[in-house]
Amino acid sequence: MLSFASSLDGDKESFAIFVNDKSHYRDKKKLLSKNTAQKINSFLSGLKEKKNNEEYIFSFDISEKQKCFVIKIKNKFESYWPQESGGNFFSYIKKNKDIKKINIYADSLDFERDKLVDFLSQFLFGFNLKSYTFNKYKTLKKETIKQKIDFKVITSIKEKIESKYKYYDAIKEGVFLTRDLVSEPPNVLNPEAYVKEIKKLSKFGLKVKSYNEKDLKKLGLNALLGVGQGSANETYLVTLEWKGKNNSSKKPIAFVGKGVCFDTGGISLKPAKFMEEMKYDMAGSAVVVGLLKSLALRKAKVNAVGVVGLVENMPGSNAQRPGDIVKSYSGKTIEVLNTDAEGRLVLADALSFTEKKYKPKFIIDLATLTGAIIISLGEEYAGLFSNNDELSKNIFQSSQNVNEKVWRLPLHKNYDKLMDSTIADVQNINYAGGAGSITAAQFLQRFITNKTPWAHLDIAGMAFSKKAANLNPGGATGFGVRLLSNLIKKYYE
Ligand code: BES
Ligand code: ZN
Ligand code: ZN
């Protein structure tokens, strides 16, 4: 629980303070007793002797019942460090099982006002991101699993901090929705259940429209439909519209996501080992949904649309066969040589549908598209592909700002050629081998027909991690929501 207050009702609770590199605490606002302030300073001078530059969160006992946490602020830090220190602070206090309540003395931050407001709201944002849990399928009482900490921010500029924090809180809600959706097991979150979840977002002011198989057939999204052909669960395409600009004739920006609720590979069946991970093959779509929710919550001054293709890739008597040819929504014919390269079939139709219907300013798609991107970039960077240098540059800059890293890989006509089919317009895999992520991106590019600025983020290595990181406890990461929120805020609002 997080709350804000402008004054302190007694100073007996455990508390946290910020100190700068000089390691001296000045109790400018006279929050603490002289005795406590002295104890802090003698602790800090003890710290000075320890030459450990890595550590920056410490604690000591003021009394048996009262702990003081000290967060040391570096003189120079990256733009994302406030969030990461918040996340690390959460991990630190989680180790102190008996802590139930903490006051955080924001005024101890020795910054000018705007910097203080920004630092602190980001610190709280990081703290909350790291506290995420997904335990709805644990039958143990939730309270015993999640340690509840009352976290009260004491500050003389309560209104300022609260209102800035609201911005980050909206993004946090988006990240949490993305993580929830990705964490759901595939028997629960099938395409139909997913549509129902998205429809719930209408209450925040998003216009949600879903297309079922009948609608999709009529429109001719046969590349998408082919992927779901072997599944007992129906295929859907869902659009989410956010109109945050009064002038609604303004072209929207568009986000498209791969929502393969489970990817068995289809008839080109995947091996059993780690197949369970393919429940997260809908992560791209979950980022789009989480992002649109956060735009609505923070009433972003932008017109944006999200388009997600929701489908299950299963083998079955009616499943698509390797060798099938489908006519996509764009009119181009695709020879499906491998039914496991299904994400690009979903995106092909979702991309051309988005381009035609919305004529957006740009399109960014997100997908857990290729295993090959994990070979090249691992769990550190998402792959970025684009037909537009400016869009690319902005995405790269935002990825640096929030430390959700992307690395641009090339597109080239010689890679494009590898996707020519002998009997159709295009084939869905590159038989020559090599450049698996690039050739997948080349395939997608064929469905951007009106030269709309477009970028593709291959997040196969980033969406899910067995390891915990600074801002998540492990599992679904929500990678992309912070990056795209920053992009919109910085360049398009
Ligand atoms: N969903 C997978 C990609 C993937 C792999 C995501 C590992 C996350 C972790 C995608 O649909 C796929 O199967 N791609 C194939 C393409 C190949 C058949 C050309 C792949 O990467 O092996
Ligand atoms: Zn696949
Ligand atoms: Zn897939």
Reduce the secondary structure of 358-419 to three states and give it as a string.
HCCCCEEEEECCCCHHHHHHCCCCEEEEECCHHHHHHHHHHHHHHCCCEEECCCCHHHHHCC
Residues within a 6 A CB radius of ligand 1: 263, 281, 338, 340-343, 368-372, 429, 436, 460
- 175 burial via Cβ count (<10 Å: 0-12, 13-18, 19+): buried
* Closest ligand 1 atom to 342 CA: 11
Joined together, the tokens standing for residue 227 give 């992927």
* Closest ligand 1 atom to 372 CA: 21
* Closest ligand 1 atom to 370 CA: 21
The residue whose CA is least distant from atom 7 of ligand 1 is 371
Q: Rounded to the nearest 5 degrees, what angle is found at the Cα of 458, between the Cα atoms of 466 and 407? A: 95
Closest ligand by atom to 459 CA: 1
Residues near ion ligand 2 (CB < 5 Å) are 263, 340, 342
* Closest ligand 1 atom to 430 CA: 19
- The span from the CA of 163 to the CA of 69, in Å, is 25
Q: Which of 213, 254, 256, 210 is nearest to 235 (CA)?
A: 213
| Residue 415: CB atoms within 10 Å | 21
Closest ligand by atom to 429 CA: 1
- The span from the CA of 344 to the CA of 369, in Å, is 7
Q: Which residue positions in the chain have pLDDT lower than 70?
A: 9-10, 22-23, 50-53, 141-147, 248
Q: Which of 370, 456, 462 to mutate to test the pocket of ligand 1 (most atoms within 8 A of CB)?
A: 370
Contact assessment for residue 99 and residue 93, using Cβ atoms and an 8 Å cutoff: yes
pTM (two decimals): 0.97
Maximal CA-CA distance, the chain: 84
Ligand 1 geometric centre to CA of 370 (Å): 4
Catalytic positions, please? 270, 344
List Cα–Cα distances, 425 to 71, 123, 328, 428, in angstroms: 60, 51, 10, 10
Closest ligand by atom to 340 CA: 2
Ligand 1 geometric centre to CA of 199 (Å): 29
Ligand 2 geometric centre to CA of 344 (Å): 9
**What secondary structure letter does DSSP report for 243?**
E
- The span from the CA of 477 to the CA of 492, in Å, is 25
Give the pLDDT score at 98: 80
Contact assessment for residue 216 and residue 239, using Cβ atoms and an 8 Å cutoff: no
Contact assessment for residue 131 and residue 90, using Cβ atoms and an 8 Å cutoff: yes
Contact assessment for residue 338 and residue 320, using Cβ atoms and an 8 Å cutoff: no
- The span from the CA of 459 to the CA of 283, in Å, is 8
The residue whose CA is least distant from atom 18 of ligand 1 is 341
Residues near ion ligand 3 (CB < 5 Å) are 260, 263, 281, 343
Give the pLDDT score at 391: 98
Question: β-strand 253-263 against 303-313: which pairing, if any?
Answer: parallel
Contact assessment for residue 347 and residue 256, using Cβ atoms and an 8 Å cutoff: yes
Provide the Cα torsion 176, 467, 368, 404; round to 10°.
70
* Closest ligand 1 atom to 428 CA: 19
Ligand 1 geometric centre to CA of 78 (Å): 34
Ligand 3 geometric centre to CA of 370 (Å): 7
Residue 451: how many CA atoms within 13 Å on its side-chain side?
Answer: 0
Q: Which of 320, 338, 340 to mutate to test the pocket of ligand 1 (most atoms within 8 A of CB)?
A: 340
Ligand 3 geometric centre to CA of 88 (Å): 33
The residue whose CA is least distant from atom 16 of ligand 1 is 341
Ligand 1 geometric centre to CA of 263 (Å): 9
* Closest ligand 1 atom to 369 CA: 3
Ligand 1 geometric centre to CA of 454 (Å): 22
Give the pLDDT score at 6: 86
The residue whose CA is least distant from atom 17 of ligand 1 is 341
Give the pLDDT score at 145: 46
Closest ligand by atom to 277 CA: 1
The residue whose CA is least distant from atom 22 of ligand 1 is 371
- The span from the CA of 478 to the CA of 6, in Å, is 33
Residue type, 201: L
Give the pLDDT score at 216: 98
Contact assessment for residue 147 and residue 98, using Cβ atoms and an 8 Å cutoff: no
Give the pLDDT score at 292: 99
List Cα–Cα distances, 31 to 26, 59, 188, 302, 345, in angstroms: 10, 18, 51, 42, 61
